[in-house]
Amino acid sequence: MIGVDFANGIVLLGVPAVLLVPLVVEGLKRLGMPAGWATPAAVLAGAAVAALAETLRIWPETEPVVRVVLAAVVLGFGASGVYSQAHGLRRPAATPGTDGKDTI
């Protein structure tokens, strides 16, 4: 039987699907996808990664296109996550008792 070796996981051009799928889902959530759609999005992202891995196995000449798609996802969503983290670190922390509410 020809197929993906699931014991070793699905790998797309050296990047494990177990890293790609959460990256895609988190990126979609940052783009405004409701959190309730995270599970269906994860299933579809997993299917897309598996399909791309199989496409490379069947048609190796598609590697440049798959490499561009993979780079766009990893670099794009990865950079947006890094930006969000850095942006969050620059916000001044709230000082207790300065939020306009009286504390007793």
The pLDDT tens digits for 76-86 are 877 776 556 55
Instruction: For 34-54, write each residue's pLDDT tens digit.
Output: 999 999 999 999 999 888 888
Q: Give the separation between CA 69 and CA 21, rounded to whole angstroms.
A: 14
Spatial separation of the C-alpha atoms in residues 24 and 8, rounded to whole Å: 21
Q: What are phi and psi of 35, to 5 degrees?
A: -60, -25
- Residue at 100 is within a domain: no
Q: Which domain holds residue 75?
A: 11-86
CB-based contact 33:41 (threshold 8 Å)? yes
Asked if the structure places residue 76 within a domain, the reply is: yes
pLDDT at 90: 64
Determine contact, residues 49/21, Cβ cutoff 8 Å: yes
Residue 57 lies in a domain: yes
In a domain, 3, yes or no: no
In a domain? residue 5: no
In angstroms, the CA 67 to CA 32 distance is 26
| pTM for the model | 0.65
| 98 within a domain of the structure (yes/no) | no
- Residue 65 domain flag: yes
Please indicate, yes or no, if residue 77 is contained in any of the structural domains: yes
Number of domains in the chain: 1
